[in-house]
């Protein structure tokens, strides 16, 4: 007597019939893909330049605000300095200066008494919350940003424009 092939498979035959994927298999594969993308994506980023003008302006503005806060909290003068020879900027006494990329041009306007030998330019923040004031203009290719420091309030303002 000949058996019907569909009956011969029985329960074992049905379990061996793998026409689809289980939910767990799909989730495992998706997790692996997500992990690969998370690891690979930062290195595949579009070259927006590691030193975008936006990030440099934000860093300078943050350091200016930190200098003002230090001046207020420590009740002393604190200087934000730019060295034209090394093209680096820092809040004096707070660590290593940060260099500017060669592609970024800088122009600093401040009170003449805070410029020494046209190499060292400073913006001072005083203990009473005021500053020497000034403006820092960064230019790169087709864009520019100006960081303005108000002398009376020491408020920092960032404005964007074209060179």
Residues 31 and 88 reside in one and the same domain = no
* Residues in the chain where the model's pLDDT stays below 50: 11-12, 46-47, 49-50
Residues 85 and 132 reside in one and the same domain = yes
pLDDT in the model for residue 8:
52
Domain that holds residue 34: 5-44
Residues 60 and 77 reside in one and the same domain = yes
pLDDT in the model for residue 25:
87
Residues 40 and 62 reside in one and the same domain = no
Residues 33 and 94 reside in one and the same domain = no
Residues 75 and 132 reside in one and the same domain = yes
Q: Side-chain half-sphere of 109: how many Cα atoms within 13 Å?
A: 10
Residues 14 and 62 reside in one and the same domain = no
Domain tally, the chain:
2
Residues 68 and 134 reside in one and the same domain = yes
Residues 24 and 91 reside in one and the same domain = no
Q: Is the pTM of this model over 0.75?
A: no
Indicate which CATH number applies to the domain containing 107: 3.55.40.10
Burial class (CB in 10 A: 0-12, 13-18, 19+), 125: buried
Residues 127 and 147 reside in one and the same domain = yes
pLDDT in the model for residue 94:
84
Residues 68 and 141 reside in one and the same domain = yes
CA atoms of 26 and 29, how far apart (whole Å): 5
Q: What is the DSSP string of 3-68?
A: PPHHHHHHHHHHHH---S--HHHHHHHHHHHHHHHHHHGGGG-----TT-HHHHHHHHHHHHHHHH
CA atoms of 86 and 51, how far apart (whole Å): 17
């Amino acid at each position: 007597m000949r058996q019907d092939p569909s009956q011969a498979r029985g329960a074992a035959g049905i379990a061996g019939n793998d026409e689809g994927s289980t939910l767990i298999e799909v989730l495992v594969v998706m997790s692996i893909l997500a992990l690969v993308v998370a690891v690979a994506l930062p290195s595949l980023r579009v070259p927006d330049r590691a030193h975008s003008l936006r990030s440099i302006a934000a860093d300078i503005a943050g350091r200016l605000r930190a200098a003002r806060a230090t001046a207020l909290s420590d009740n002393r003068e604190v200087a934000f300095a730019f060295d034209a020879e090394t093209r680096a900027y820092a809040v004096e006494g707070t660590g290593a200066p940060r260099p500017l990329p060669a592609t970024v041009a800088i122009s600093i306007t401040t009170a003449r008494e805070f410029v020494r030998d046209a190499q060292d330019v400073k913006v001072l923040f005083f203990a009473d919350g005021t500053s020497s004031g000034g403006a820092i203009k960064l230019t790169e290719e087709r864009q520019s940003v100006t960081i303005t420091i108000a002398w009376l309030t020491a408020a920092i303002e960032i404005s964007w424009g074209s060179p």
